Amino acid sequence: MLKTANISTKNFFESALNKNNLSQQRSELLIRIAENIAKEYSINQTVNLNFICTHNSRRSQLGQAWSFFAAAYFNLNINAYSGGTEVTAFYRNTVKTLQKVGFLFQVVDFSHQNPKYQISFDGANKTILGFSKLYDDPENKNPYMAITTCDSADENCPFIPSATHRFHLPFVDPKHSDGKEKQDEVYLQTNKQIAGEIYFIFSNVKKIIS
């Protein structure tokens, strides 16, 4: 079990929203996502979310991990997945920044190119499988709502015919810091931003359906 936590996942999650200064435009986007999740949840009593980015190595994996945690935290039957338009790897710095905030990683299929991890956290009653894959990989259950996380223009993101809804929620790629002095700090900041925005979405879903 790979664990290097400096802070509990719960504390990091709860504090992340307070450290995010959301613009009105960003808040409106997050609320729109929450409203559509809540609408589908009210009909089906479950929702599948698929976070999609080009390489499925950083931002989309963070979105999946925090949605997995948020579903347990808010007691919602929401399943979290991620994928890309290319297969690369669950990047080591992404794994590292999640470990620092309490996520647990168990290697279940070792590969230098693309290892697979069972991911959990203290108190979790289930795990998710983390590895780089295409957005339409069989591991990602249909139907799903697609949330694209690339910070390129929305029109450059892939057409996703199997998605019931598609939202563009861009984050700056922490890749630019790889190998540099502030690498860990940049990844932690991206981690915090995504955690905070997932908290915002899920808390609004809970509020709406209640």
> Residue 144: which of 131, 123, 160 has the closest Cα?
160
Query: CA-CA distance, 23 to 170, in Å (whole number)?
Result: 14
> Lowest mean pLDDT: which of 82-86, 155-159, 179-183?
155-159
Q: Where are the domains of the chain?
A: 9-209
**Strands 47-52, 144-148: parallel, antiparallel or unpaired by DSSP?**
parallel
- Cα(19)–Cα(4) distance, integer angstroms: 23
Average pLDDT, integer, range 134-145: 95
Q: Per-residue pLDDT averaged across 138-161, rounded?
A: 81
Does the pLDDT at position 167 exceed 90? yes
Most confident of 110-119, 149-158, 187-196: 187-196
For domain 9-209, give the CATH superfamily. Answer: Response regulator (3.40.50.2300)
**Residue 160 pLDDT exceeds 90:** no
Instruction: Find, among 46, 133, 130, 36, the residue nearest to 83 by Cα.
Output: 133
What confidence score (pLDDT) does residue 112 get?
81
Q: What phi and psi, each to the nearest 5 degrees, are found at residue 207?
A: -65, -45
Report pTM.
0.94
Compute the distance between CA of residue 69 and CA of residue 124 in angstroms, rounded to an integer: 8
pLDDT band at 5 (very low <50, low <70, confident <90, very high): low
